[in-house]
Chains A and B, each alone.
Chain A
């Protein structure tokens, strides 16, 4: 049980921002929110993670609601190479990641 809910698929126009939502309404206080993506059949790629505050790095931004029940991954300027399955995962300070089905993002020209 992944314990997160994501839309099955989304489309985004190239150059536009891609906003991928995730619901994690039962997240506990010490659990982080992680985002990974898997391009075709490659190994998953770490994108970003956060606990309470919004986070930004060179790949994306992560917006976490104040009650921590949901979050949004933002790819500010999506390119064709961002087409992938995006996974939102909740996890503690150690141990395994539980992958759900993720969101299949298709970036279109």
Chain B
């Protein structure tokens, strides 16, 4: 059974204070690790897909990295508008196209 654990559950940062969010996973054959941003009362918004260990992707202040056991979402010099819940999900080779989600990390960036 695929498992995804995200830490921390919540993170408060001062504006400009860089940090990282962690996503640990256990899957039977990774077919993709996904990062989403979710604002309150909204559906998840796609950020990145990573497929193999060593892969990195960047978008503005966000950078996602992947190892064989975990992924990190690095946030550089965050702004208040980066406040949201960040979700990690995996797709394994054992099933169909289903995604297994972690509980998310709620990020608050204080001005």
Chain B associates with chain A? no
Residue positions of B touching A, CB distance < 8 A: none
